[in-house]
Amino acid sequence: MAPPRPLSAGAQRYLPCLADLERYSGRVVGLPLRPYQLEAGRAIVAAALGRAPRDLIVVIMARQAGKNELSAQLEAYLLALHCRRGGTIVKCAPTFHPQLYTSMQRLSDRGNNALTTVRGRLGFVLEVGRARVQFLSAAPGAQVVGATASIALEVDEAQDCDEEKLTRDFYPMLAATNAPRVYYGTAWAETDPLQRAKQTARALERRDGVRRGPRALARRAAELLPEGRAAAWNQAMMELGATVCRPRRPACDVCPVRPGCGGPDALPAAAVRPGARQRFEATDRWARGRLLAALVAGDAPPELAAERRERALAGLERDGLVLRGPGGEPRLP
Ligand code: SF4
């Protein structure tokens, strides 16, 4: 097992990014996750760190919506967070070649960054310091070596996995750890109307900013969806949101749905005109990052007003990133 290497001075300045998946994704990996990826990613991080129920999380995304990118960046992020204390993510998929092999390549790309170096071992393990991901095939005849999933068990392309294999060989890996199971899959229009409605919700909310309850959503979706072509519509909406109707710079002049849209001015003001921006150094997120970086590096904590320091520490404790001693002094878990 490789001990964690001291961070270079250049890498130290990226440590605050470990306080937040969005900052890690944008500044360390350099490939910012989209809002819907971050929403799922934050739920998985919360469960893996034990600050949310550590049971089952299902991530359903259309093809090309970035499920594999999310998974790779999450693995790199969780490995970085666990590189000193150690831990294991087990990832399985219906086949080793090409699915897990592709996952390994992607994690290797994303995890070799300004903060961490990924090392391969045995052809199916990738490590950062004392933390690792084991990639194991869930094909019915695959020989699965004994493993313990202490951070998470990821099941990729879960809709194609053999349930009996998962139950017999993979779920016992969680028996001693109670780590979360994370299923990644793709919704198919013919088989999963509930998931179509959920995806539709996201697209509709991005268009007019109105949050809807499940029933209102299902009614509105039934009005809007072309019968029998929900999957194609869903994919088109995802692509539209990612490439044309972007939250900050909607490209209305080339938008194919311009005739039926009131344009960005029809959106609620908050959705297109966020208020004046606060300096980042004045935010609690900055304070959290500096405090965490100091703890990881063993440096003196930054000077902060007592109230702000307490707010930042309380947030880090709530997120499972620090523990507090009897006198309130912070330490790493
Ligand atoms: S016209 Fe503009 S605001 Fe309307 S959907 Fe297209 S890009 Fe978005």
Token representation of residue 71:
């998974």
Percent above pLDDT 70 for the chain: 77
In this structure, of 70-84, 115-129, 227-241, 303-317, the range with the lowest mean pLDDT score is 227-241
Q: What confidence score (pLDDT) does residue 157 get? A: 85
Token output for 45: 């991080």
If one counts every other C-beta atom within 10 angstroms of the C-beta of residue 167, the result is: 10
pLDDT of residue 38: 92
* CB of 203 sitting under 6 A from ligand 1: no
Over the stretch 272-318, which tens digit does the pLDDT of each residue have?
344 455 667 778 888 888 888 888 778 888 888 888 888 888 888 87
Residue among 252, 254, 267, 273 to mutate when testing ligand 1 (max atoms within 8 A of CB): 252
More confident residue, 290 or 175: 290
Q: How many angstroms is it from 267 CA to the middle of ligand 1? A: 10
Alpha helical stretches, state H, 83-192: 101-111, 163-165
For a substitution probing ligand 1, which of 245, 254, 267, 272 has the most ligand atoms within 8 Å of its CB? 245
Give me the pLDDT at residue 287, please: 86
Judged against a pLDDT cut of 90, whether residue 322 lies above it is answered with no
**The two structure tokens encoding residue 250:** 């909607």
CB 81 within 8 A of CB 49: yes
| pLDDT over threshold 90, residue 91 | yes
State yes or no: pLDDT of 92 exceeds 90: yes
Distance 26 CA to ligand 1 centre (A): 25
Q: If you average pLDDT over residues 42-50, what whole number do you get?
A: 89
Instruction: For ligand 1, say whether the CB of 263 is within 6 Å of any of its atoms.
Output: yes
Residues of the chain with CATH 3.40.50.300: 12-185
Instruction: Give residue 76 CA to ligand 1 midpoint distance, Å.
Output: 35
Contact 140 CB / ligand 1 (< 6 Å): no
Q: Picking from 13-27, 97-111, 171-185, 267-281, which range would have the lowest pLDDT averaged per residue?
A: 267-281
The pTM of this model reads 0.57
Reference 49, options 272, 323, 320; nearest CA is 320
pLDDT at 125 over 80: yes
**pLDDT at residue 249 above 60?**
yes
251 C-beta closer than 6 A to ligand 1: yes
Does pLDDT of 189 surpass 60?
no
> What b-and-e string marks burial along 74-106, b requiring 16 or more CB atoms within 10 Å of the CB?
bbbbbbbbbbeeebbbbbbbbebeebbeebbeb
Is residue 11 within 6 Å of ligand 1 at its C-beta?
no
44 has pLDDT over 80: yes
The first and second tokens of residue 56, run together, are: 């089952």
Give the model's pLDDT for residue 202.
56
Is pLDDT larger for residue 114 or for residue 54? 114
Candidate from 249, 261, 273 with most ligand 1 atoms within 8 A of CB, to mutate: 261
Q: Does the structure show a pLDDT above 70 at 203?
A: no
Mean pLDDT, range 161-171, rounded to an integer: 81
Question: What is the pLDDT, as a whole number, of residue 166?
Answer: 82
Q: Note the pLDDT of residue 23.
A: 93
pLDDT at 196 over 50: no
Most confident of 46-50, 131-135, 196-200, 238-242: 131-135
Q: What is the pLDDT of residue 171?
A: 83
Ligand 1 contact, 250 CB (< 6 A): yes
Q: Residue 240 C-alpha to ligand 1 middle, in angstroms?
A: 9
> In whole numbers, what is the pLDDT of the chain averaged over residues?
79
CATH number of the domain at 12-185, please? 3.40.50.300
